[in-house]
Amino acid sequence: MTDSEMTPRFENGGEMKIAGLSGRFGPENRDQIPALWMRWGPKYFGRTPGQVDKQSYGVCWNMDGRGGLDYLAGVEVASFDGLPAELTRMTIEPQLYAVFPHTSHISAISETWMNIFDKWLPKSGRQFAGAAPSFERYDEAFDPAVAVGHVEIWVPVKR
């Protein structure tokens, strides 16, 4: 990660409703997150009732400090009405975020996450707002076939 990539912009994120497939992941099964996306994308992307746009989200919450977290692959929806029962529903409350680009292949995204938490955060003078979810935002230019495109990592920070 270059120094310019380690300099985030700050955004006041508004409320979002996210719906998708989710699971609990840790060091022993984190390599299964791509399989979650492979189940999600073909079945639901562009077909989720109330889908807002063509962006996808990888939402992380309930981090336990030992590498475990809940992860949801999904999209923003206008409401939770009419969603299939298997989809997890999450409302992300308004929050201040440090936003980082991820410019390399998606297989290296865990390295970007580690650089944010191990390098940028301790030197930033900011505190992680761990009660709020962090998320990856994949815009419509992201191409899952080659696993590259425009991706941002949104990390909640205290004001």
Q: Give the pLDDT of residue 2.
A: 56
DSSP 32-57: GHHHHHHHHHHHHTTTSTTB-SS-EE
Report d(CA 120, CA 3) in Å as an integer.
10
Q: Within the chain, what is the greatest distance between any pair of CA atoms?
A: 45
Domains along the sequence of the chain with CATH: 9-156 (3.20.80.10)
Helices (H) and strands (E) in the chain, counts: 3, 8
Mean model confidence pLDDT for the chain: 91
Q: What is the pLDDT of residues 112-146, one digit of tens each?
A: 999 999 999 999 999 999 889 999 999 887 876 66
What percent of the chain has pLDDT above 70?
Answer: 94
Residue 148 predicted with pLDDT over 80: no
pLDDT digits (tens, 9 = 90+) for 48-81: 999 999 999 999 999 888 889 999 999 999 999 9
CA distance 76 to 95: 16
